[in-house]
Amino acid sequence: MAYYDNIPEIETSLNSAELRVGIVMSRFNIEVTEGLLGACTAELAKQGVQESNLLLATVPGALEIPLALQKMALSDQFDALIALGAVIRGDTYHFEVVSNESARGLISVQLDTGIPVANGILTTDNDDQALARMTQKGIEAARAAIEMANLLAKLDEMT
């Protein structure tokens, strides 16, 4: 028997019938971001999130995503938020700046507001990698948002 076998554990839950989810999608690299959005919304629907409980906002690029998410989080209208974008490496340092700062912004939003933010921003070396990963990343973002919203609700019940 492992040492942790007797420790109470909060079970993972993808129950999402009543969840309200906000999505912010970058329009930069639109072919990839629309692929992310299609996979994400299909997974949300598969898990039972009602279309009427979704709101989509689009922004120019990945650096604008955190501000839109912050505004949504502060509205108290959402149980979870999802960021969708694609940052594809170019020939300059700009890739690192956008990748790092957009991720930092997502973390700041969720820690400052207590609303979970699922990171569906792809960072890839080229277009082919982004296209190959967009479906899986969209699905993972949807599942992460649902799981974290449910976890936080259960933790709130314990306090």
Question: Residues with catalytic annotation?
Answer: 94
- Backbone angle region of 89, left / alpha / beta, with phi > 0 → left and psi within -120 to 50 → alpha: beta
